[in-house]
Amino acid sequence: MNTFGNRFRLTTFGESHGTAVGGVVDGCPAGLPIDNAFVNEELHRRRDGDTPSKETTQRKEPDHVEWLSGIYEGKTLGTPIAFAIRNSDCHPEDYESLRHCFRPGHADYTYSMRYGHRDYRGGGRASGRETAARVVGGAIAKLWLKEQGVSFHTVTKGYTVACTVRGVPAGTGNPVFDRIDARLAYAMISIPSASAFAMGQDAGDWQLPPDRYPDQWVDRGEGETLTATNHCGGVQGGISNGMPIVFHVGFHPPVTRPEGMICRREDGSLTSVAPGGRHDKSHIPRLPVIVESMAALTVADLMLDCMK
């Protein structure tokens, strides 16, 4: 189902070239002031990337959030916060050549297998544009988490985003399945083009030498100085220990190539198609805010779950 979270829940909706993308946040605490400027800034980070360049999307959407419910006199009511972002700059005719064939590396074929038919325009539901709804949901989560003293920091390196979350109280998370590290893995691999996840410092190297484990206690240390190193990334047994939570996410590059592509027709035969529509040369600059948003949704959900 298209819902993320149990206590702080985001349901997203929308196809790339339909009327709108958007979402419903259910479970956000009542009385939280919503800073519209911050939400829009986060949306701009998604559209243009942290370092605006010609590499990111060529789509010129204002990406203005329209609030439909759940906010009154600038504060959340505790009721569902629904929002929509209109799809205004659509050129669906660019995608006409894709109506009856499947691009390589995209979800065209698998959606057809799953649903029988699909909105082939601009990737439909599988488009990266759906992540705009995640960024709005994540921004609301961040506003609440900021009040709780939680902050997010990301660094990009090649196709890897490293994320550090500071201020998560010790004791957040659950044993066995609903662990904070497993939930972060789930959240991150749900991002389009994400293919790898690792917990801990330097985990981008996949695995540390065995002699780095375990992290050793610091005498009388508290909070962020609990252990001398933080190779485990702030989580033990699925529960945070109060140290910074550190993880890495690996992505594969965009799969649409400017030189065209060989597509699969419905009868299984192949055909050469020029890439219509607009596509990122690189989507890396857009990823940090999406990683942070999914991390914020995860952490807000588990903090609400574990509050006493």
Burial of 74 (0-12, 13-18, 19+ CB in 10 A): exposed
Of 171, 224, 260, 266, the residue at the interface with a copy of itself (CB under 8 A) is 171
- What's CA 82's distance to the chain center, in Å? 18
CB-nearer residue toward a copy of itself: 44 or 281: 281
Of 262, 290, 294, the closest CA to residue 275 belongs to 262
Find the shortest distance in angstroms from Cβ 206 to a copy of itself.
4
CB-nearer residue toward a copy of itself: 16 or 57: 16
CB-nearer residue toward a copy of itself: 263 or 287: 263
Of 106, 142, 279, 286, the residue at the interface with a copy of itself (CB under 8 A) is 106
Token pair of 214 as six digits: 């375990």
In the shown chain, the binding pattern of residues 65 to 104 toward a copy of itself, with x for contact by CB under 8 A and - for none, equals -xxxxx-x--x-xxxxxx-x-----------------x-x
Of 58, 74, 262, 266, the residue at the interface with a copy of itself (CB under 8 A) is 262
Enclosing H/E stretch for 132: helix 131-147
Q: Give the footprint of a copy of itself on residues 16-45 (CB under 8 A).
A: 18-22, 24, 26-27, 30-31
| Residue whose entry in the numeric block shows the structure tokens 């801990």 | 200
Q: Could you give the 3-state DSSP secondary structure of residue 281?
A: coil
The residues with which 262 forms a beta bridge, in sequence order, are 272
CB 203 within 8 A of CB 247: yes
Find the shortest distance in angstroms from Cβ 266 to a copy of itself.
12
Of 47, 125, 142, 279, the residue at the interface with a copy of itself (CB under 8 A) is 125
Enclosing H/E stretch for 181: helix 180-189
CA dihedral 46, 48, 52, 56 (to 10 degrees): 100
Per rule CB under 8 A, is residue 298 in the interface with a copy of itself?
Answer: no
Token pair of 118 as six digits: 């699909």
Enclosing H/E stretch for 289: helix 287-306
CB-nearer residue toward a copy of itself: 42 or 181: 181
In the shown chain, the binding pattern of residues 217 to 256 toward a copy of itself, with x for contact by CB under 8 A and - for none, equals x-xxxx---xx---xxx-xxxxxxxx-------x-xx-x-
Per rule CB under 8 A, is residue 155 in the interface with a copy of itself?
Answer: no
Enclosing H/E stretch for 76: strand 75-76
Q: Name every residue whose Cβ is closer than 8 Å to that of residue 69 and which is 6 or more positions away in sequence.
A: 79, 80, 81, 82
Per rule CB under 8 A, is residue 161 in the interface with a copy of itself?
Answer: no
CB-nearer residue toward a copy of itself: 43 or 85: 85
Per rule CB under 8 A, is residue 280 in the interface with a copy of itself?
Answer: no
Of 96, 206, 223, 224, the residue at the interface with a copy of itself (CB under 8 A) is 206
Stretch that binds a copy of itself, among 39-47, 53-61, 146-154, 191-199 (CB under 8 A): 191-199
Query: Do you know the residue count of the chain?
Result: 308
Of 37, 54, 114, 258, the residue at the interface with a copy of itself (CB under 8 A) is 114
Enclosing H/E stretch for 41: helix 36-48
